[in-house]
Amino acid sequence: MSRTGGRAEDADGPAGAAATSRPGALARLRPPAPEEFRSAVHDPRVTARVGLFLGIAFLLVFVTGLVSHFLQNPLPWLPVLTTPVWGYRLTQGVHVATGIACIPLLVAKLYTVYPALFERPPVRGVVHALERASIALLVAASMFQLLTGLFNTFQWYPWQFGFVGVHYATAWVVVGSLLLHVGVKLPIIVTALRARVVDGEIADGAPLSPGRITDGTLHSVPDGDLAPVPAGRDPEAAATRRGFLAAVAVTVVGLTALTVGQTVRPLAAVSVLSPRDPRVGPQGLPINKTAAEAHVTETAVDPAWRLELEGPAGTRSLSRDDLLAMPQHEAVLPIACVEGWSASARWQGVRVRDLVALVTDDASSGGGASGPATARDLSVVSLQEVGSYGRSVLPAEHVAHGDTLLALRLEGEDLDVDHGFPARIIAPNRPGVLQTKWVARMSVVQA
Amino acid sequence: MSAPGRSGRYDTVPRSGSRGVAVGRALLALGGVAMIAWGAYVAVTRVPSSQWPSALVWLAGGIVLHDAVLAPVAIVVGALVLPRVPAPWRPALRGGMLALGVLAIFAVALLAGSAHRRNASVVPQDPLAALAVALGVLVVGVLLGAWWAVAARRRSALRD
């Protein structure tokens, strides 16, 4: 077959075998050689542009993932922010939505460099082997991260490892191998991104070596050298490149529109591909762990339930009626799950700082924002005996916040048992897994 | 570096075009290696060794799934279909294939999530109906994209 037999055809693969309709053509299919990929899509300008968006998306997912990690594993020197109350809802919503958007971006990015899969010989020396190994690591870790992350949002765990720890470790490998890859390819990326494509022609004075990237008729490869072809205008190839980028953009936007409704309520109705509907669940609010899963169906509704409070000034034991007799406060706060769904709700209950004041010396500090009683963290223990989120530590900043509640009611009704009846923690700007349900005991952490 | 003018050289480690690029790529490479090392350290120290086999199988599985299944399917379908359709249809069909691949991944997640549903608020929708709607959106998107490209071509032909 000949590449010079016409302009760039929009075919992938061994066109000599596949483009013919003679019988038996399929039987002659063989792995193509890189230069047989004749579509203008396999072009460093396309790769670099898809890669740019994928890289930005990966960084966004990484940073928002770190936010979630350090909210759940606080560092002593890291400040705890209670405002904005929707902070975690935003960062985790972005984390999951961007992670989902990365799936088509990654597939598209890989598609543009398919010729590289068929390079022969596969390895040409030590440096080349190292580079290919780093790309293999990047692809493997990215695929792993995006797929297991997606399955996690659907609460499907077809593996034998703890998701959270592995997801965290892999995140560093993904971004590390991404930076390494960008470092290796930087000269190509810089050249490709500087090459503005207007009607198939390079439109600026970027320092391109002649023949390096000329026109769309060029059989250009993701990197390395380019075949010398006559420079000239090829609107067909330019249209192919633009069309591909547009198709990728539409796919990403479409997928986002069909999934982001799990956190953007107005889009909930069209959110057919998302694992959650923020309007569906007991009392119109989704849940992660039911009372049955937590093995608290009996203990949670037992009239003998008491909230045990422990502090420097002693202990108190309060029934639900005692709690309802205390000053009630109402707060509109989101439940924002690590899995990406979130929904705002109206919670009623007792301010946690009022409860803390009952068991600390400084009785007057209940109303203050930073009195001694609220300057300490609070350990919260659930009735829940199984699972990893049966206890949490409420940082002092949250204890002091006036909207941090031991919630007893939701939207004017008693809490559903699946939402944590008889009492649960709800605090601003916090991951849902830390909003402990079925609270049994709260202890002021002694400094 | 490969010989000038040779085609088909992939994954060639290119030469830096300027000092800024050289410094930038050195910093990126060093930072990248450091982050990979930290990730490996975190994995080794915090993930119990009993969990490593499953994690490694999944890690390798992703690249096998891509290189041995997704990529060959895309290449063969592209080689068989794209040359046989009018040029304006190709970007829309490429996008459609991309979306179909992503939809297949979501189909697995939706069906498995619904089958292993632990409470009624997980995958509350009928997964098959949801996939049918998404597929409908995909088909409409491809048709609209192709129609738009054909119309654009007609406009540009009239202009010329």
Among residues A379, A378, A437, A426, the alpha carbon closest in space to that of A404 is found at A426
Q: Which residues of chain A have pLDDT under 70?
A: 1-29, 196-234, 362-374, 447
Q: What DSSP assignment string belongs to B15-62?
A: PPSSHHHHHHHHHHHHHHHHHHHHHHHHHHHHS-GGGHHHHHHHHHHH
For residue A29, what pLDDT is reported? 65
List, as ranges, residues 8-27 from B with C-beta within 8 Å of A.
8-17, 21, 24-27
Which pLDDT value is given to residue A197? 53
Q: Which residue of B has its CA nearest to A339?
A: B122
Model confidence at B13, in pLDDT bands (50, 70, 90)? low
Distance CA A171, CA A142 (A): 8
Per-residue pLDDT tens over the stretch B46-67: 999 999 999 999 999 988 988 8
Q: A95: burial class by Cβ within 10 Å (0-12, 13-18, 19+)? A: buried
| Mutation for A interface: B121, B126, B160, most A CBs within 10 A | B121
Nearest residue in chain A measured CA to CA from B148 = A243
Residue written as token pair 């055809």: A9
Hey, of A30, A106, A155, which one would you mutate to test binding to chain B, going by the most B CBs within 10 A of its CB? A155
Per-window interface: A 280-339 vs B, CB < 8 A: 280-282, 286-288, 290, 293
All structural domains of chain B with their residue ranges: 17-46, 86-160
3-state secondary structure of A168: helix
Q: Do B25 and A272 touch (CB under 8 A)?
A: no
Give the tens place of pLDDT for each residue, A395-435.
999 999 999 999 999 999 999 999 999 999 999 999 999 99
* B24 — pLDDT class (breaks 50, 70, 90): very high
Chain A CB within 8 Å of residue B34 CB: yes
Which residues touch A6 (CB under 8 Å, ≥6 apart)?
none
Helices (H), A157-313: 163-194, 235-259
* CB contact B151 to A (< 8 Å): no
Beta carbon pairs, A and B, within 8 Å: 341
Instruction: Report the pLDDT value the prediction gives residue B159, as an integer from 0 to 100.
Output: 79
Calculate ∠ Cα A89-A95-A96, nearest 5°.
95
Contact status of A27 with chain B (Cβ, < 8 Å): no
CB contact under 8 A, B8 and A244: no
Residues in chain A within 8 Å Cβ distance of B92: 243, 247
Q: Does A148 sit within 8 Å of B12, measured CB to CB? A: no
Res A88: pLDDT = 96
Of A15, A131, A186, the CB nearest to B24: A186
Predicted confidence (pLDDT) per residue in B97-113, tens digit: 999 999 999 999 999 99
ipTM: 0.92
Task: Catalogue all structural domains in chain A, each as residue range(s) with its CATH number.
Answer: 15-262 (no CATH), 299-444 (3.90.420.10)
Q: Cβ of B126 under 8 Å from any chain A Cβ?
A: no
User: Which residue among A19, A166, A221 sits closest to B83, beta carbon to beta carbon?
Assistant: A19
